[in-house]
Amino acid sequence: MLTKRIIPCLDIKNGRTVKGVNFVNLRDAGDPVELAKQYARLGADELVFLDISATLEGRKTMHDMVLKVAEQVNIPFTVGGGISSIKDVDDLLHCGADKVSINSSAIKRPELINELADKFGSQCVVVAIDAKQIDNEWMVHLAGGTIPTKHYLFDWAKEVESRGAGEILFTSMNNDGTKSGFANEALAKLAETVNIPIIASGGAGTIQHFIDTFKIGKADAALAASVFHFGEIDIIDLKKELKKQHIEIRL
């Protein structure tokens, strides 16, 4: 049976791991390569690296980091942040990234999804969607939830699927950083809307939140950062508990 996936997310700035709480107040949580190796050993199914460097210099360090991760880590990983062209993706895949995640560049030019899927295959194209629920409507946002777009979450999800996205990474900006659980209602509706895998993101605080996002939110994978980085949830303990709850998991 295909298992549900547990994905630690590492925010990277200038080659170092950081984690945003509601995307501000960053705290350093270590060297990304060491952290990645440790997560692979501890039972993570996959990793996501999100480059939040604002400078060109910072972005360049990302390629070195991706190379080192590919060299030393034996599980798949996705790289996101600031990717806006076929060349960006080509470079990252050549450094050994398995998948790339695009977000604002897909909003700005949706054709990019088609181009990447055609050139590299849907399997390596993850479209990240940050959305915020405002007056009962889930609206897609950019720049860490600060800039609203005209896109409705569910329509946009359908569009990215039809353009060739292989997976959706959905972050609820209402839940992110709150540790109060994932946005399971929206996730379950997403699962009904599209037929590609969905990674739930934003809100992980307890083991029960992961159980709920798989059972109620119908997520295929769950992503979290600080609860893993600061040792609040141990991945093996989490997986044992998920298994006890009859959720298919790799142990």
3 binds another protein (CB under 8 A): yes
Residue 197, C-beta contacts closer than 8 angstroms, at least 6 positions apart: 166, 167, 168, 220, 221
**Alpha-carbon span 176 to 163, nearest angstrom:** 27
Task: Choose which of 81, 82, 166, 203 interacts with another protein (CB under 8 A).
Answer: 166
DSSP 3-state assignment of 163?
A: helix
Task: Choose which of 56, 74, 136, 150 interacts with another protein (CB under 8 A).
Answer: 74
Task: Choose which of 47, 221, 224, 242 interacts with another protein (CB under 8 A).
Answer: 221
H or E stretch including 141?
strand 137-142
Least distance from C-beta 112 to another protein, angstroms? 17
Residue positions annotated with a catalytic role: 11, 130
102 binds another protein (CB under 8 A): no
162 binds another protein (CB under 8 A): no
Task: Choose which of 91, 98, 115, 159 interacts with another protein (CB under 8 A).
Answer: 98
**Alpha-carbon span 147 to 192, nearest angstrom:** 27
91 binds another protein (CB under 8 A): no
Q: What are the DSSP E strand ranges found in 81-136?
A: 99-102, 125-134
- Neighbouring C-alpha atoms within 13 Å toward the C-beta of 135: 1
190 binds another protein (CB under 8 A): no
> Which residues in this chain contact another protein in the complex, by CB under 8 A?
1-5, 40, 45-46, 70-72, 74-76, 93-98, 118, 120-124, 166-167, 195-197, 220-221, 250
